[in-house]
């Protein structure tokens, strides 16, 4: 059994896949916040994990904690490289690219092969990346995620409250503070994605991450877009089915 892990700055997402299963076909999956990290071993205990593939962008301490918790010594730490699984990475320094972004791009490409695509991963940060139809990761944008954007207003002003991300976006211009914050933050997120799609001449857009459920519904795009849960895990899984696991530090 293969254990896939996407360790982000807010939550650790994981999935278990039988050997040879198609990308995204999982026996079990889940997510915990960093505070609940200790719950992970119990979730994996009844499965015979023989190897693990981990994307970690949340630092060395989490790396060490995960290494102790993962119930196999056959752990591969996923890293961004110049080329993988038919995709070329045009980042100036390929290893500087967040390995979750590289995995998300591979996952999006596996789902939308041959299309000029944008993959937006809406987590702690929102990352919006472009992949060409012929498989080049062109680069992207990084902005504060929806939660972080809203929290930065509450923390750095005297009069603005902390708003809950789940509230409905008001139509038109807001007539109260909470709705105005929500409208501004959601418009910034959606606007950046729309701008990236226009800049790239994209024909498809995949939206993923914990805040995708709030951002995707307000997107206005002239073509199909869809929410895909756990695009990073799908991308990690796709590398196992198309090429051997890599084993280099992230």
Ligand X SMILES: Nc1ncnc2c1ncn2[C@@H]1O[C@H](COP(=O)(O)OP(=O)(O)O)[C@@H](O)[C@H]1O
Ligand Y SMILES: CC(C)(COP(=O)(O)O)[C@@H](O)C(=O)NCCC(=O)O
Q: Which residues are known catalytic residues?
A: 100
Does residue number 189 form part of the binding site for ligand Y (CB under 6 A)?
no
Work out what residue 142 binds among ligand Y, K ion, ligand X, none; the CB cut-off runs from 5 to 8 Å by kind: ligand Y
Does residue number 147 form part of the binding site for ligand X (CB under 6 A)?
yes
Treating both helix axes as pointing N-terminal to C-terminal, what angle do 231-242 and 99-111 enclose, rounded to 10 degrees? 80
* Residue 6 marked as a ligand binder: yes
User: Closest separation between CB of residue 19 and ligand X, Å?
Assistant: 26
Q: Please identify, using beta-carbon distances, which residue of 1 and 53 lies nearer to ligand Y.
A: 53
Q: What binding mask, one character per residue, do residues 100-119 give for ligand Y by CB under 6 A, x or -? A: xx------------------
Work out what residue 108 binds among ligand X, K ion, ligand Y, none; the CB cut-off runs from 5 to 8 Å by kind: none
Work out what residue 46 binds among K ion, ligand Y, ligand X, none; the CB cut-off runs from 5 to 8 Å by kind: none
Q: Answer whether 16's CB lies under 8 Å from 2's CB.
A: yes
> Which residues form the interface with K ion (CB under 5 A)?
121, 123, 125, 127
**Cβ neighbours of residue 17 closer than 8 Å, sequence gap 6 or more:** 1, 2, 4, 25, 26, 27, 237
**Distance in Å from the first CA to the final CA of the chain:** 23
User: Closest separation between CB of residue 121 and K ion, Å?
Assistant: 4
Residues belonging to the chain: 250
Piece of the chain touching ligand X by CB under 6 A; list 90-98, 185-193, 195-203, 205-213: 205-213
Work out what residue 98 binds among ligand Y, ligand X, K ion, none; the CB cut-off runs from 5 to 8 Å by kind: ligand Y
Measuring CA to CA, how many Å separate 118 from each of 124, 204, 249?
18, 7, 27
φ, ψ of residue 11 to 5 degrees: the values are: -135, 155
Distance CA 119, CA 226 (A): 10
Helix (H) or strand (E) holding 14: strand 11-17
* Residue 13 marked as a ligand binder: yes
Token representation of residue 182: 């929500």
Distance CA 99, CA 67 (A): 17
Q: Please identify, using beta-carbon distances, which residue of 1 and 140 lies nearer to K ion.
A: 140
Work out what residue 147 binds among ligand X, ligand Y, K ion, none; the CB cut-off runs from 5 to 8 Å by kind: ligand X
User: Closest separation between CB of residue 232 and ligand X, Å?
Assistant: 7
Residue among 2, 11, 109, 131 that touches ligand X (CB under 6 A): 11
Tell me which residue of 151, 148, 152, 132 sits closest to 140, measured CA to CA.
132
Q: Answer whether 125's CB lies under 8 Å from 133's CB.
A: no
SS3 191: helix
Does residue number 120 form part of the binding site for ligand Y (CB under 6 A)?
no
* Residue 5 marked as a ligand binder: no
- The residues of the shown chain that bind ligand Y, judged by CB under 6 A, are 8-9, 57, 96-98, 100-101, 123-125, 127, 142, 145
């Amino acid at each position: 059994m293969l254990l896939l892990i996407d360790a982000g700055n807010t939550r650790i997402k994981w999935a278990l896949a039988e050997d040879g299963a198609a990308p995204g076909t999982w026996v079990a999956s889940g997510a915990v916040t960093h505070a609940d990290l200790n719950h992970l071993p119990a979730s994996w205990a009844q499965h015979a994990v023989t190897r693990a593939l981990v994307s970690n962008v949340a630092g060395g301490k989490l790396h060490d904690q995960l290494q102790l918790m993962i119930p196999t010594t056959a752990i591969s730490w996923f890293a961004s490289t110049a080329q993988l699984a038919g995709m070329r990475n045009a980042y100036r320094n390929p290893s500087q690219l967040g390995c979750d972004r590289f995995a998300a791009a591979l996952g999006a490409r596996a789902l939308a092969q041959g299309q000029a695509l944008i993959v937006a991963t809406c987590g702690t940060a929102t990352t919006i990346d472009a992949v060409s139809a012929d498989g080049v990761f062109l680069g992207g944008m990084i902005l504060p995620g929806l939660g972080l954007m809203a929290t930065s207003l509450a923390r750095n002003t005297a009069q603005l409250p902390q708003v809950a991300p789940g509230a409905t976006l008001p139509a038109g211009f807001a007539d109260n503070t909470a709705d105005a914050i929500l409208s501004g933050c959601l418009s910034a997120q959606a606007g950046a994605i729309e701008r990236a799609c226009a800049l790239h001449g994209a024909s498809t857009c995949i939206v993923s991450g914990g805040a995708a459920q709030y951002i995707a519904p307000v997107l206005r795009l002239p073509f199909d877009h869809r929410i895909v849960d756990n695009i990073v895990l799908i991308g990690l899984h796709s590398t196992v089915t198309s090429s051997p696991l890599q084993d280099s530090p992230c």
